[in-house]
């Protein structure tokens, strides 16, 4: 797939995928929210409810002063994972974000825990959040895939992703979330190829 560099004046919509509510906060499925929260902390702002869009949103800028500085909209859909596409598409249209400037940050079963993979477009690999986004606006958006590994033994996938990270995993979770936030910033500021070479491990 040919990767084009979007116009520097176009905003970026960075979407952390997860489920709203304290009972889901530390679930593996909510790692997208964790990365979005860290990016918000770095920007120095707080998420606010975005009217009819069923999402929490923060507008800000990332990157050094000058041409590399980017306007970003951080978003956490509040619609539950399998309905993420509606809120994301509404925000994309409202802020006039090209589809190629949408970034979904999400958990990925087929990658080992903590490993990152960045890509543009592709399938949803059974991920309900991506499935909903693709149905709403097509598949030509960026993904920052955060590996959570496969469920142990015969545990069902649905049970696994809706469980909290294990105590062993939590020892490294902050580091991996920090690295994923770095990868998002690199993607937005320097482009996909640079981010892939730096963070696809």
Q: Tell the residue number behind the tokens 């990767």, with chain if given.
A: 3
Closest C-alpha among 201, 39, 34 to residue 113: 201
Set 29, 106, 127, 142: catalytic member: 29
48-49 and 116-120: which strand pairing? unpaired
- Angle (CA) 11-50-148 rounded to 5° is 75
Q: Please, what is the end-to-end C-alpha distance for the chain in angstroms?
A: 20
Helix axes of 128-137 and 85-94: crossing angle, nearest 10 degrees: 40
> Catalytic annotation on 29?
yes
74 — phi, psi (to 5°)?
-85, 140
Q: Which are the catalytic amino acids?
A: 29
């Amino acid at each position: 797939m040919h990767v084009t560099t979007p116009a520097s004046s176009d905003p970026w919509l960075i979407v952390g995928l997860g489920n709203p509510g304290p009972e889901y906060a530390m679930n593996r499925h909510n790692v997208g929210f964790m990365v979005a929260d860290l990016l918000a902390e770095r920007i120095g702002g707080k998420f606010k409810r975005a009217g009819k869009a069923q999402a929490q949103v923060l507008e800000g800028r990332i990157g050094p002063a000058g041409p590399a500085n980017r306007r970003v909209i951080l978003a956490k859909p509040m619609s539950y994972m399998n309905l993420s596409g509606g809120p994301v598409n509404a925000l994309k249209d409202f802020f006039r974000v090209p589809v190629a400037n949408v970034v979904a940050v999400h958990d990925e079963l087929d990658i080992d825990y903590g490993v990152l993979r960045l890509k543009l477009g592709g399938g949803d690999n059974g991920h309900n959040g991506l499935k909903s986004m693709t149905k709403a606006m097509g598949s030509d958006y960026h993904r920052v895939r955060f590996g959570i590994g496969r469920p142990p033994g015969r545990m069902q996938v649905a049970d696994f992703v809706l469980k909290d990270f294990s105590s062993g995993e939590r020892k490294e979770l902050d580091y991996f979330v920090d690295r994923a936030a770095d990868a998002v910033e690199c993607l937005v500021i320097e482009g996909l190829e640079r981010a892939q070479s730096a963070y696809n491990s």
